[in-house]
Amino acid sequence: MQAINPRTGEADYEFAVTSREDIASEAARLRAAQPAWEALGPEGRAGVMMRFADAIEAAAPAIAGALAVDTGRQAVSWIEIQACVGNIRGWAAKAPSLFAQLPSEVEPSFTPGVEIVPAYSAYPLFGAICPWNFPVILSHIDAVPALMAGCAALVKPSEITPRFVEPMREVLAAVPELPLAYIRGGPEVGQALIEDVDYVCFTGSTATGRKVAEAAARQLIPANLELGGKDPMIITASADPEWAAGVALRSSIVATGQACQSIERIYVARDIAEPFLAHLVEAAEAVAITYPDPAQGHLGPFIFPPQGAKVQAHIDAAVASGARVLTGGQIEQLGGGTYLRPTILTDVTPDMPVMREETFGPVLPVTVYDDLEDAVRQANDTEYGLSAAVLAGSMEEAASIGARLEAGAISLQDGAMTSMVGDAANESRKGSGLGPSRMGDSGLLRFLRRQSLIQQTGAALTIDAYAEGARG
């Protein structure tokens, strides 16, 4: 397969797709290594994981270099590596105490006379299918707690961003006892992975998530899905308009809007709409794209160039139906890369694609509301339920509104914090996901299968006693 450099538009990288046979043999190798890995216990595994984190840090320049080409962005590439290392060290520190808290006996409520001793064992082989928007973070966000739980892990990063796998494979060579492997390729490789693992975590679009869930259902394995979003932000009349504009802008455009938790719809109270929009436009126009110098500016190119055309189509359809562009609005081709400056739209209506479908670009459609009830209703009127945000004059006011929003994680007095707060357990709603939370303790505990050793402490029933009991 070939991959495109998002800064030049050129297909300048070729890589071998992992064959069906090689996927099966990697899966078999990992399965064979898993019992010894699980037998190390949480402390033993934590020690190896700490060495894995150290090895990533030592190789950070090579990984960041590859990732910067994959994604067209420099600063975020370093942030991704730091976040990945932090995730590994965080789970390594936390896992032993989580295991220590697992109950070692269960008091029977329904069946007197038995004693129940619970046992816990990891799903042997975990699999991850990952997207292109944060390639390093999202290829490891579930694999790390799965490994800490005692699973072996087979990871398929996106075929759009394959370069970082090479330096990561070198990192793995420094930690040979870690049962982790990467496979590369597109949808067929994803489907093959599902056939070979015992538990799959998928991060990506809602459309692909349905296909993954169907394939997992055929295999009768659990599938956790982390999917797309159309996150709303409500800004009330008591919020400071300049502060709200700054928070709304950052929450919408970080990583060129290519984040599942980006704010994609803004509802602002009419009382402050005028100064809010003025500050928003001013702040948006101060944002620089990272061209020609990738080390300068805020917004990189679209990682996946066809995404730029999709975003433009959302803007054009909105304008054709009466929306106004206050700033931005036009894709720019620079040096072969596809860029979009922050784009602010007003006079949008709920039926427009930019208000219903995931845009995944630095686009802020702003709706002015008169009635807070109506704003809450509109914010909830979506197929998605990943996260949401509220900005108000006080935390109490923001919290009372946030509790009524139908989404997994609600940021109050800030925006788009969903994936940045590791302890904030949440399950996405509606079309945004399925399964136990990847954040919080369940991020690890979901990978443990419970077994009950049911001990009969009295006399086992005879068949005669059973028949008499049944006759009353």
Task: List active site positions.
Answer: 226, 260
Residue 137 binds to ligand NAD (criterion: CB under 6 A): no
Q: Which of 5, 8, 121, 191 binds ligand NAD (CB under 6 A)?
A: 191
Query: Of the two residues 179 and 229, which places its CB atom closer to ligand NAD in the complex?
Result: 229
Q: How far is the CB of 359 from ligand NAD (least distance, A)?
A: 10
Helix or strand or coil: residue 13? strand
Residue 190 binds to ligand NAD (criterion: CB under 6 A): yes
Q: How far is the CB of 360 from ligand NAD (least distance, A)?
A: 6
Helices (H), 327-406: 353-356, 372-380, 395-402
Of 24-32, 184-192, 334-342, 367-375, the window that binds ligand NAD (rule: CB under 6 A) is 184-192
> With CB under 6 A, what is the number of residues at the site for ligand NAD?
28
Residue 76 CA to residue 255 CA, distance in Å, equals 8
Residue 263 binds to ligand NAD (criterion: CB under 6 A): no
Residue 152 CA to residue 38 CA, distance in Å, equals 9
Q: How far is the CB of 430 from ligand NAD (least distance, A)?
A: 12
Residue 42 binds to ligand NAD (criterion: CB under 6 A): no
Query: Of the two residues 162 and 241, which places its CB atom closer to ligand NAD in the complex?
Result: 162
| Residue 14 phi, psi (nearest 5) | -120, 140
Amino acid residing at 432: S
Residue 303 binds to ligand NAD (criterion: CB under 6 A): no
Residue 228 binds to ligand NAD (criterion: CB under 6 A): yes
Residue 358 CA to residue 338 CA, distance in Å, equals 19
Query: Of the two residues 283 and 386, which places its CB atom closer to ligand NAD in the complex?
Result: 386
* Cα radius of gyration (the chain): 25
Residue 84 binds to ligand NAD (criterion: CB under 6 A): no
Q: Give, as ranges, the residues between 424 and 443 that touch ligand NAD (CB under 6 A).
A: 433
Q: How far is the CB of 408 from ligand NAD (least distance, A)?
A: 9
Residue 302 CA to residue 72 CA, distance in Å, equals 8
Residue 186 binds to ligand NAD (criterion: CB under 6 A): yes
Amino acid residing at 164: F
Q: CB of 124 within 8 A of CB of 28? A: no
Question: Which residue in the block uniquely carries the two structure tokens 């020609």?
Answer: 292
**DSSP letters of 284-335?**
HHT--B--S-TTSSSB---SSHHHHHHHHHHHHHHHHTT-EEEE----EEET
Helices (H), 133-186: 135-140, 143-149, 165-173
Q: What is the largest CA-CA distance in the chain?
A: 87
Residue 304 CA to residue 350 CA, distance in Å, equals 27
Q: Give, as ranges, the residues between 393 and 422 that touch ligand NAD (CB under 6 A).
A: none
Q: Which of 72, 162, 229, 435 binds ligand NAD (CB under 6 A)?
A: 229
Q: How far is the CB of 256 from ligand NAD (least distance, A)?
A: 13
C-alpha angle 264-267-268 in degrees, rounded to nearest 5:
135
Query: Of the two residues 208 and 290, which places its CB atom closer to ligand NAD in the complex?
Result: 208
Q: Give, as ranges, the residues between 203 and 222 that touch ligand NAD (CB under 6 A).
A: 203-205, 208, 211-212
Q: How far is the CB of 209 from ligand NAD (least distance, A)?
A: 7
Q: What number of other Cβ atoms are within 10 A of residue 321's Cβ?
A: 14
- Nearest residue to ligand NAD, scored by beta-carbon proximity: 190
Residue 139 binds to ligand NAD (criterion: CB under 6 A): no
Helix or strand or coil: residue 29? helix
Q: CB of 259 within 8 A of CB of 290? A: no
Residue 100 Cα distances to 92, 97, 201, 281, angstroms: 14, 5, 25, 52
Residue 367 binds to ligand NAD (criterion: CB under 6 A): no
Residue 390 binds to ligand NAD (criterion: CB under 6 A): no
Residue 156 binds to ligand NAD (criterion: CB under 6 A): yes
Residue among 433, 370, 375 at smallest CA distance from 404: 375
Helix or strand or coil: residue 469? helix
Residue 385 binds to ligand NAD (criterion: CB under 6 A): no
Of 56-64, 94-102, 128-136, 292-300, the window that binds ligand NAD (rule: CB under 6 A) is 128-136
Q: How far is the CB of 85 from ligand NAD (least distance, A)?
A: 19
Residue 260 binds to ligand NAD (criterion: CB under 6 A): yes
Helices (H), 347-389: 353-356, 372-380
Q: Which of 66, 244, 386, 405 binds ligand NAD (CB under 6 A)?
A: 386
Binding site for ligand NAD (CB under 6 A): 129-133, 138, 156, 158-159, 186-187, 190-191, 203-205, 208, 211-212, 226-229, 260, 358, 360, 386, 433
